[in-house]
Amino acid sequence: MISNNSFFEPYCIVPGQPTLAVLHCKVSNSGVAMDKSASGWVNGFIGVVIFAGSLPATRVAVMDFDPTFLTCARASIAALLGLALLLALRQPRPAWRNVPALGVVALGVVVGFPLLTALALRHVSSAHSIVFLGLLPLCTAVFAVLRGGERPRPTFWLFSVLGSAFVAGYAALGGIEASLRGDVLMLAAIVVCGLGYAEGARLSRRLGGWQVISWALALSLPVMLPVALFTMPASFVHVGAPAWLGLAYVSLFSMLIGFVFWYRGLAQGGIAAVGQLQLLQPFLGLGLAALLLGETVNWAMLLVTLGAVACVAGARKFAT
């Protein structure tokens, strides 16, 4: 076996038929890479579908739960489930060098994003806040470069920025007048979430997708559980069934199961590239908000989201 210096691909040399053998090996390696990339997009899409229900579920839950309690309770429930999985499957503890990165994941997606969105949803509707999620792909791509070492092509950035521009334009024209505080909280949530996504995907290449989110949740448990108990309401009599269902969804699906698919997809298909699937999340979330909460979805929201969706194909094509 020899190596081609231009592409660093292994070439298999078979006596008598070197050319055919080399071609076969190159095709095989290309097929494996394509399969891995396709798998990354499939896993990423499943994760996005799951995450699309997060903000409507949070919106329902904060009607009866304090945002701080909701944030800490969902993280604590997911952490206990994640710990149970880690122990049941006898997963080795991560090396100490990975602990700081796990801390960044915990601060970004376990604490920061849930708390900031829960606070924001006290000032804006879930339909309005969902559109801000269109900024997540660009933010994630930036952190993919800063933390993941990825280098997308210039055309990729054009499509990524264009997709985010649809969202920013919507907020500037109609959203900020509704609640500046809510929009600022949502923008802060997007930044910390993008960092948590990129850092978690980078770790997933070494630890595995579900292991990363489980360890990050476990790392946050000593803080989140006491705060959840401290902020727990004195009585749950006033809490309705929709709020309980919202808490269950964000604890099980948004905080754990969704990340199993999402981090695996980012690690397989590339953080910046697969991250563009988040442009689909507003479209899915808007439909859920209208269907489950009876919120109004106007034409401006739909046009913004559809424009962002159109940028996914272009960004995917020119990601590498």
Position 44 scores a pLDDT of 92
Position 294 scores a pLDDT of 72
Euclidean distance between CA atoms 283 and 131, whole angstroms: 8
Position 178 scores a pLDDT of 59
Position 55 scores a pLDDT of 77
Task: pLDDT tens for the chain, 320 residues: list them.
Answer: 443 333 333 434 444 555 444 444 444 455 555 577 788 889 999 999 999 888 788 888 988 999 899 999 999 999 999 999 999 999 999 999 999 999 999 999 999 988 898 888 888 776 677 677 778 888 888 888 888 778 888 888 888 888 777 766 766 665 455 577 888 898 899 999 999 999 998 998 888 888 999 999 999 999 999 999 999 998 899 999 999 999 999 999 999 999 999 999 988 888 888 888 887 877 777 777 777 767 666 777 777 777 777 777 666 666 56
Position 78 scores a pLDDT of 95
Q: Are 99 and 219 in contact (CB under 8 A)?
A: yes
Position 148 scores a pLDDT of 75
Enter the tokens of residue 81.
């489930």
Enter the tokens of residue 133.
């999620």
Q: Are 145 and 202 in contact (CB under 8 A)?
A: no
Q: Are 203 and 151 in contact (CB under 8 A)?
A: no
Residue 199: closest CA among 318, 134, 78, 113: 113
Angle at 11 between CA 6 and CA 15, to 5 degrees: 135
Euclidean distance between CA atoms 43 and 181, whole angstroms: 34
The region that residue 294 occupies, defined by phi over 0 for left and psi between -120 and 50 for alpha, beta otherwise, is: left
